[in-house]
Structure 1
Amino acid sequence: MEALTALVVGLLVAASVYLMLARNFMRFLFGLILLSNAANLVIFASGRMTKGAPALVPYGADTPAGVVGNALPQALVLTAIVIGFGLLAFTLALAFETYRRLRTMDTDKMRVAEPKDADEDMK
């Protein structure tokens, strides 16, 4: 199961890098979300993928009985999902406002705040 998860993470990272190298802002955003999901899978897989019981401690015992899943990576992934959703909402609002003002999603044409090159002034 870990090998399949590693393969899926590798494919997600490769697809996200491919999308993030594009010159379209929306493709960059989708690549960022894919990279976030790949990181979530890595964190989730670090907690051992077993068919064990939930990490519940019986009354009067010091440790859980038997093989249990690690709850910390699951909690970290849930937190990362919430943070990723907030990042997605912010960047979608940013993309909408950028398109409204500049009428383009091409990152090469989004050079409003950058100073002009000295070579362009000579032409």
Structure 2
Amino acid sequence: MEQLMMVLIGILVSVATYLILSRNMIRVIIGTAVLSHAVNLLIMAVGGLKKGNVPLIGHEEEPFTDALPQALILTAIVISFATTALLLVLAYRTYKTSGSDDFKELRGMPDE
């Protein structure tokens, strides 16, 4: 299962890299969102699947699950949602003021 996750993470990172290198502002924003999803999957895959009891004091000596990867992923999801929302608002405002979402046009370079 971990090998399949690593292949999926590689595909997501390559798609995100392609989108981030685009000239279109919306594609760059979608690329950063896809890259954050890939990082979340990577954290989950590195954390591994562990079966066990909850880590509470007073329970018997049994193997327990580690809650740190889930907490990191939850924090990363919240941060990526806020970042994506901010970037979308900035892109909308840029499009509204300049009438374009192409980076070359925003820099003042003519299309060739």
Confirm or deny a common fold (TM above 0.5).
yes
The DSSP-based 3-state class of the residue aligned with 1:110 is helix
Long gaps (5+) in structure 1: 117-123
1:44-86 deviation line (CA, Å, top 9, x unaligned): 1111123x0343336255x5x13x3321111001000000010
Number of paired residues?
109
Report the counterpart of residue 8 of structure 2 in structure 1.
8
Report the counterpart of residue 33 of structure 1 in structure 2.
33
Q: TM-score, normalised by structure 1?
A: 0.81
Moved over 3 A (4+): none
Q: Is residue 48–residue 69 contact of structure 1 (8 Å, CA) maintained in 2?
A: no
Report the counterpart of residue 107 of structure 1 in structure 2.
103
RMSD of the alignment, in Å? 1.8
Q: Identify the match of residue 93 of structure 2 among 97, 108, 115.
A: 97
Long gaps (5+) in structure 2: none
Quote the Cα distance in structure 1 between the aligned partners of 2:91 and 2:53.
Answer: 41
Q: Is residue 55–residue 65 contact of structure 2 (8 Å, CA) maintained in 1?
A: no
- Which one has a bigger Cα radius of gyration? 1
Quote the Cα distance in structure 2 between the aligned partners of 1:60 and 1:13.
Answer: 41
| Structure that is richer in helix per residue | 2
Written as runs of structure 1 = structure 2, the 5 A alignment for 1:1-123 is 1-50=1-50, 52-57=51-56, 59=58, 61=60, 65-66=62-63, 68-111=64-107
Q: TM-score, normalised by structure 2?
A: 0.88
